[in-house]
Amino acid sequence: MKKLLSALVVLALCSGAAFATVPDPTNCTVTPCDQLGPVGVGGVVVCPGTPTGIAAAVVTVVAKNAAGNVIPNASVEVTMGSAQIVACAPGLPWVGTCDLNGVWTKTFNGGGCFSGAGACVVKINGAPIRTYVNVKSPDWDGGAGNLIVQANDLSTFATGLQTNGAGCSDMNNSGGTNIGDFVIFVSGYTPSHSCP
């Protein structure tokens, strides 16, 4: 009986240790993506990162388990679901490791626009914690991103702003292009951002 009890204790301890590294999507955060759109939907902004990453594209992931405890040294992987999203070198996927506080920060250096299932997937320790359906960028000329924010991107954005369009110019996914989207766009346009 003592052997059985000891084995059950060891099994419980091992199971607890394994669950400690399993992320819980409801406890994990992805900022600012979780705030860039309707609650529970969010969205992603990518932008070439030179001279510096724009606020909407500097993403912080916090890995937590079901108990709400951080997961130190968790692995993070970010993939994009369309070739319309282009990344600065070294390209996609973006991978990294959380620090001892379960935090990983990355400037999402890229351009383009895509809306659809699996537009951006964030995984922690191999488990998906977020699947966004919108990826937008100041680097979008209406047909492609070329990893530099320039006049043709401004022209496309201005059309969206003028018509209150809900497409690629609606970077905060509010349902129309407005001053909130202008703030994101202009942070990548002035000065002109490009790949590092």
Both ends of the chain: CA-CA distance in Å?
A: 64
**Residues of 145-172 as b/e, b for ≥16 C-beta within 10 angstroms?**
bbbbbeebbbebbeebbeeebebbbbbb
Listed in sequence order, the DSSP H helices in the chain are 2-19, 151-163, 179-189
For residue 20, what pLDDT is reported? 87
Q: How many domains does the chain have?
A: 1
Query: Residue 3 falls within a domain, yes or no?
Result: no
Place of tokens 């351009």: 111
pTM of the model: 0.90
Query: Residue 158 falls within a domain, yes or no?
Result: yes
Report, as ranges of residue numbers, the positions in the chain whose pLDDT lies below 50. Answer: 8-16
Phi, psi angle pair for 30, to nearest 5°:
-135, 105
CA dihedral (39, 123, 115, 160) positive or negative: positive
For residue 10, what pLDDT is reported? 46
Query: Residue 14 falls within a domain, yes or no?
Result: no
Phi, psi angle pair for 34, to nearest 5°:
-60, -25
Region for residue 44 given its phi and psi (left: phi exceeds 0; alpha: psi -120 to 50; beta: otherwise): beta
For residue 1, what pLDDT is reported? 59
Dmax (CA) of the chain: 77
For residue 5, what pLDDT is reported? 53
Query: Residue 11 falls within a domain, yes or no?
Result: no
For residue 193, what pLDDT is reported? 98
Query: Residue 131 falls within a domain, yes or no?
Result: yes
Domain residue limits at 139: 22-189
Query: Residue 98 falls within a domain, yes or no?
Result: yes
For residue 196, what pLDDT is reported? 80
Query: Residue 9 falls within a domain, yes or no?
Result: no
The amino acid at 71: I
Query: Residue 65 falls within a domain, yes or no?
Result: yes
For residue 2, what pLDDT is reported? 63
